[in-house]
Each structure stands twice: as C-alpha cells, then as structure tokens.
Amino acid sequence: MADCMQEWPEPIVRVQAVAESGLAAIPGCYVKPPHDRPAQQHLAAVAVLHEPSDTSIPVIDLGELLAADEGRIDGLITEAVAAACRDLGFFQVVNHGVAPELMRAVREAWRGFFRLPISAKQQYANQPRTYEGYGSRVGVQKGGPLDWGDYYFLHLAPEAAKSPDKYWPTNPAICKELSEEYGREVTRLCELLMAAMSAGLGVKPGRLQEEFGGADGAGVCVRVNYYPRCPQPELTLGLSSHSDPGGMTVLLADERVRGLQVRGRGGEWVTVDPIADSFIVNVGDQIQVLTNAAYRSVEHRVTVNADAERLSVAMFYNPRSDLPLAPMAELVSAEAPALYKPMTFDEYRLYIRRMGPRGKSQVESLKAKPDNR
Ligand SMILES: O=C(O)CCC(=O)C(=O)O
C-alpha cells in the first residue's frame, strides 16, 4: 500500500487542458456508466441567487447561536441543526459570522490561480502520498474512473500538519494569507456547529469536540475544486458520488453556477440552490460513526455544464488523525448497539485515497459484525 501511494498509476492529464483542446466529444475515461449520469433537467447552467427552491436543502440562520454564550447552546437553532443532520445530512447556513468580503476574496484568489496557464501550475503537481498541491484525480487505482475537475489541496491545521510553503502557490501570492485567515474563521464556525450538533444529541456541547481530540487536535484542510466547461455534461460528473470521509465539511459554492447534488431520502438527486454568502454544511463519515448513525453522512456528487466553469472551496474539519473513533458511549445501549468498529481517521482516509470517490461504500464497510462487537 505504502508503495502504491507514492505515485499516480498513469500520467496525469489536466481536465482544464482537455476542456481547452476544443474536443467535441469527451475522452472515454470521463464517460460514466448510464446509471451514474446526470438527468438532463439537472444540467441548467446558471444559478439564480435568490431564495432557494422548496426542493433544495434546509437553510438555517445561525445569528442567535453566534450571540449565545457557550453554556447556552440550545433552543430552536440547535434543534434545526440536529434535525438537518438526522435527515438529509446537509444544510445551508446564513448569518454564520464569516465576513462575506473574505469569502468572496478567497474565491477570487483561487480563480486567479486556476486561470493561469497550466504550465504555470505544474510546479505544484501533487502526489498521492500527501495530496498537497495541484491535482486532477483522487484514487490511485490504475484505470479507475476519472472526474471532470482539477483541484488544489492543502492542510491548514493542526500546526504540526500545516502544508509547508513549497506547496502554496506564489501566484496569486494572496492565496496563502487569505486561505489561512479563511481557515481560522471557518474553523470557528465548525466549533460552533460541533457544539450545536452535540447539544442536539442530548449530550454536553463540548462532547463531539472532545471526541475529535479537542480544538487543538482537530485537523483542517481545504480543497479548491475547479470544474472547467464540458462539451458533454450529460455523460460525466465533476466529482463522482461520495460521502466525505472526515468530520464535517463547510462548502463555499460558486456564486453563479449550480452543480452540487445531494442524495435525497428516496434515492433521488436533490440539486442544491446556493444562496449568496451562505455556506453549505454537511456531516462527514466520522460524525456518522461517533453518533452511531444518529447523524447521517450523505452521498453527494457534482454535475458540470457546457456554458460555464465552476469553482468551489471545500473546508474539511476532521478529528485528530491518530485517535481510534467509535460510537460515543452515551449513544450506545443494549437496544442501540455500536454500529461501527473503531478506526483512526488516518487509516480511514486511505480508502478514498486508494479507491477514489465510491458512494457510501467505505462507511458501510466499517459496520461492526455481531460477532466482533
Ligand atoms: O464542488 C462542490 O460543490 C462539492 C465538492 C465536494 O463534494 C468535495 O470537495 O468533497
């Protein structure tokens, strides 16, 4: 395993290069099997940024929660957060405390990077060993499926795991400073949401954070996703269906272009309508494990389109990577036995890094068998 994680199994092709080559038909490696392709009605290019449609995900105003003291994390907002985590596993937050100017500046800085010629970006080409830098695939399996997107991945915390300077783009130079500030602000938001999620389970507000190894132990990383225009969006995906392996994800979606779809309770794909200056939050696999599946880490995927490129900034808030995680004792009983066996996040994330995005197969594979509880 260690060896196969050193290098990519095939030469890396930048999706931006394929898109800009002017091909009318996309190469076969990007074509998804028919049952994974997006339905035609989901391919509308440009988002209308007003009120989200009834069919989108819940919107939660965090204003009152932000103003509350730590001891007073309860009430309607907490209930709304818990209800969303139990139901769809996804929600949008507004009045979340992060300055809209910072959100827009981060997005623009990274747009600046992705608009550079590919030759200027190649020096940051990433390797599967750490994923840090400029990438165009996730799994290391030879011949594995490829998605219609390039990305940039970096670690922001804890201090010991922070990506060294060599991994940061120097053009635009502001990417680093802005992303670090953004990381600190969104981390504060994650800590608040962790408190609300804990209270919504009926345990004390600090419990989930404690399981994550405390605020200083939590890992924070960012992936900036860049989805170029695609001549045949009906055949492919920008990111295949997956659930997020970590704790929680806070997504800054493109302000103009839709693309994110979430698996609804009935198995249907729900297209998210992002509202201006909001974040899209979702539960990751580690919170599903810790809450013994009270909170759901839900499959999602990204569609692309012919008329517009799309950029999103995903910040992943993760548990300390060397702690074995299992359902919290308070949520386990004779009637509700532990659904998952313990595993560290370091071990867990190797799966997605090896196999690429594969629906919910990973967290399912962690299910404890009756004889090993
Ligand atoms: O681009 C998006 O809207 C979603 C990205 C995502 O799911 C991810 O980075 O894991």
What's the CATH code of the domain at 211?
2.60.120.330
Give the residue numbers spanning the domain of 30. 3-365
- Determine the distance separating the centroid of ligand 1 and the alpha carbon of 241, expressed in angstroms: 10
Q: Is residue 370 part of a domain?
A: no
Q: How confident is the model at residue 2 (pLDDT cuts 50, 70, 90)?
A: very low
For residue 371, being part of any structural domain is answered with no
3-state secondary structure of 218: coil
Q: Is the CB of 14 under 6 A from ligand 1?
A: no
For residue 373, the model assigns a pLDDT of 35
Q: 313: Cβ below 6 Å to ligand 1?
A: no
What is the model's pTM?
A: 0.94
**pLDDT, tens digit, for every residue of 294-353?**
999 999 999 999 999 999 999 999 999 999 999 999 999 999 999 999 999 998 887 767
Q: Does 373 map to a domain? A: no
* Average pLDDT, integer, range 272-284: 95
Residue 293 within a domain: yes
Position 243 in a domain: yes
Ligand 1 atom with the smallest distance to the CA of 357 is: 10
Ligand 1 neighbour 260 (Cβ under 6 A) = yes
Q: Does pLDDT of 103 surpass 90? A: yes
Q: What is the pLDDT of residue 68?
A: 81
Q: Is 243 in the pocket of ligand 1 (CB under 6 A)?
A: no
- Cβ 291 under 6 angstroms from ligand 1: no
Distance CA 269, CA 300 (A): 8
- Residue to substitute in 42, 148, 300, 318 for testing ligand 1 pocket (most ligand atoms within 8 angstroms of CB): 300
pLDDT at residue 142 tops 50? yes
Residues 206-257: tens digit of each pLDDT: 999 999 999 999 999 999 999 999 999 999 999 999 999 999 999 999 999 9
257 close to ligand 1 (CB < 6 Angstrom): no
Angle, to 10 degrees, between the axis of helix 100-114 and the axis of helix 174-200? 130
Question: Looking at residue 166, what is its pLDDT?
Answer: 97
pLDDT of residue 44: 61
Task: For ligand 1, atom 9, name the residue with the nearest CA.
Answer: 314
Q: Which atom of ligand 1 is nearest to the CA of 227?
A: 1
Flag whether 273 is in a domain. yes
Q: Mean pLDDT throughout 81-85? A: 97
Cβ within 8 Å of residue 82, ≥6 positions away: 196, 197, 199, 200, 201, 295
Q: How far is the CA of 300 from the centre of ligand 1 (A)?
A: 8
Q: How far is the CA of 250 from the centre of ligand 1 (A)?
A: 10
Averaged pLDDT for residues 133-162:
93
Work out the percent of the chain whose per-residue pLDDT is above 70: 91
pLDDT band at 372 (very low <50, low <70, confident <90, very high): very low
pLDDT per position as a tens digit, 66-81: 988 665 777 899 999 9
Q: Does the C-beta of 135 come closer than 6 Å to ligand 1?
A: no
Q: Report helix, strand or coil for 21.
A: coil
**For residue 175, is it within any domain?**
yes
Say if residue 371's pLDDT is above 50.
Answer: no
Averaged confidence pLDDT in the chain? 91
Q: If pLDDT is split at 50, 70 and 90, which confidence band does 55 have?
A: low
At residue 155, does pLDDT exceed 60?
yes
Evaluate if residue 1 carries a pLDDT over 50: no
Q: Among residues 91, 25, 100, which one has the least CA distance to residue 59? A: 91
DSSP letter for 360, please.
T
**At 13, phi and psi to the nearest 5?**
-115, 125
Take residue 127 and report the two structure tokens written for it: 């390797």
Is residue 372 assigned to a domain?
no
Q: Is the CB of 302 under 6 A from ligand 1?
A: yes
Q: How many domains does the chain have?
A: 1
